């Protein structure tokens, strides 16, 4: 399958990055290069794009799509390690960073990857296929308590206990190997009357995917690290797709902006507040109605932008 990526909030991201033609920009989630190609169109040959992705198939597809551009560095890695990646490249600061979080359209559509509850495949869900932990490992080896915690925390699944219990019952009979097997267990765990708000497996699959790829735990630090490596007036644009991601980004932005907690009647600050910049948009930017109609995956997208001082 061709790695096709319809970039979400494309115009808003390009505007938010405030691109300088000779600048250095990082796409920390390169994917199908939908955002990156628009960044490159605005860069001179003296500018540079650094494309990072943990999915090697994405990198290969991006190299093909961006083959006309010579000012691109491709990195097989994780945006959580952005400081280390830039250090290895001998780059101290950059002019802008884009993070388009979550699973890509290609990963969802490529059945063999096991991300989707709409097709049958082995339980995989690894963004980096060289890592060991798979969705099958989570489903078959985590305790009932661990499964329940993951489903509650990462999926906000109200029937987490029933699903975890029924997973345990089934795996004692035989190993749960495919997405369809897991979907069947989930459907049997949720009352039919409660299955009318989207696909019943959506929250569970999201939760397991987040656990497999460790998407939430390092995110707060990643945002702070990204701001640290920005040049003055450099910008960080982050697209999130669910509340857990958005909360981490919002919290990191708030801390980096620095809010003085001193009483207003004090003549000067004594709380030690230090600001690294400003939040550009106090409310997250969301997709237009037109984009939501054209690309259903944009419906839950939120864009937050930070500018380094």
CA angle 156, 161, 166 (to 5 degrees): 120
Structure tokens at 76: 């097989």
> Whole-structure pTM over 0.85, yes or no?
yes
As a whole number, mean pLDDT of residues 12-38 equals: 97
Q: Tell me, yes or no, whether 3 lies in a domain.
A: no
Q: Tell me, yes or no, whether 4 lies in a domain.
A: no
Q: Tell me, yes or no, whether 1 lies in a domain.
A: no
As a whole number, mean pLDDT of residues 254-280 equals: 85
Q: Tell me, yes or no, whether 204 lies in a domain.
A: yes
> How far is the first Cα of the chain from the last one, in angstroms, to the nearest whole number?
43
Query: Across 2-11, 126-135, 260-269, which has the greatest mean pLDDT?
Result: 126-135
**pLDDT above 80 for 17:** yes
Residues 205 and 234 in one domain: no
Residues 43 and 57 in one domain: yes
CA angle 183, 171, 141 (to 5 degrees): 100
Residues 124 and 203 in one domain: yes
What CATH number is attached to the domain comprising 150? 1.10.150.170
% of the chain exceeding 70 in pLDDT: 98
Residues 65 and 158 in one domain: no
Residues 95 and 118 in one domain: no
Q: What is the pLDDT of residues 125-167, one digit of tens each?
A: 999 999 999 999 999 999 999 999 999 999 999 999 999 999 9
Domain count, the chain: 2
**Per-position DSSP letters for 104-142, written without gaps between them:** -HHHHH-GGG---SSS--BS---SSTTSS--HHHHHHHS
Residues 62 and 191 in one domain: no
Beta-strand relationship, 72-76 and 277-279:
unpaired
Which of 157, 180, 213 terminates a domain? The answer is: 213
DSSP H or E stretch at residue 302: strand 302-308
Q: Tell me, yes or no, whether 120 lies in a domain.
A: yes
> Which domain covers residue 188, as residue numbers?
111-213
Q: Tell me, yes or no, whether 188 lies in a domain.
A: yes
| Furthest CA-CA distance within the chain | 70
What CATH number is attached to the domain comprising 93? 3.40.50.150
Q: Tell me, yes or no, whether 177 lies in a domain.
A: yes
pLDDT at 2: 53
As a whole number, mean pLDDT of residues 214-234 equals: 97
């Amino acid at each position: 399958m061709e790695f096709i990526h319809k970039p979400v909030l494309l115009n808003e991201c390009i505007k938010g990055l405030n691109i300088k033609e000779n600048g250095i920009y990082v796409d920390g989630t390169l994917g199908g290069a939908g955002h990156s190609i628009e960044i490159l169109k605005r860069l001179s040959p003296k500018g540079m794009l650094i494309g990072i992705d943990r999915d090697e198939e994405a990198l290969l597809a991006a190299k093909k799509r961006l083959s006309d551009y010579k000012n691109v560095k491709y990195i097989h890695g994780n945006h959580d390690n952005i400081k280390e990646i830039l250090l290895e490249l001998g780059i101290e600061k950059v002019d802008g960073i884009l993070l388009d979080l979550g699973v890509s359209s290609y990963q969802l559509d490529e059945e063999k990857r096991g991300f989707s509850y709409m097709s049958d495949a082995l339980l995989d869900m690894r963004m980096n296929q060289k890592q060991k932990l798979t969705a099958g490992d989570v489903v078959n080896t985590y305790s009932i308590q661990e499964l329940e915690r993951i489903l509650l925390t990462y999926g906000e699944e109200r029937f987490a206990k029933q699903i975890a219990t029924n997973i345990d019952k089934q795996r004692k009979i035989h190993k749960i190997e495919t997405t369809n097997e897991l979907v069947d267990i989930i459907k049997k765990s949720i009352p039919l009357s409660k299955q009318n708000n989207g696909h019943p497996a959506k929250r569970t699959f999201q939760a397991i995917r987040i656990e497999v790829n460790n998407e939430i735990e390092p995110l707060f630090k990643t945002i702070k690290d990204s701001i640290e490596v920005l040049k003055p007036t450099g910008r960080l644009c982050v697209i999130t797709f669910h509340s857990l991601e958005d909360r981490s980004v919002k919290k990191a932005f708030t801390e980096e902006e620095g809010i003085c907690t001193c009483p207003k009647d004090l003549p000067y600050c004594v709380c030690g507040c230090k600001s690294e910049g400003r939040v550009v948009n106090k409310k997250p930017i969301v997709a237009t109605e037109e984009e939501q109609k054209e690309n259903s995956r944009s419906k839950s997208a939120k864009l937050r932008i930070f500018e380094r001082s």
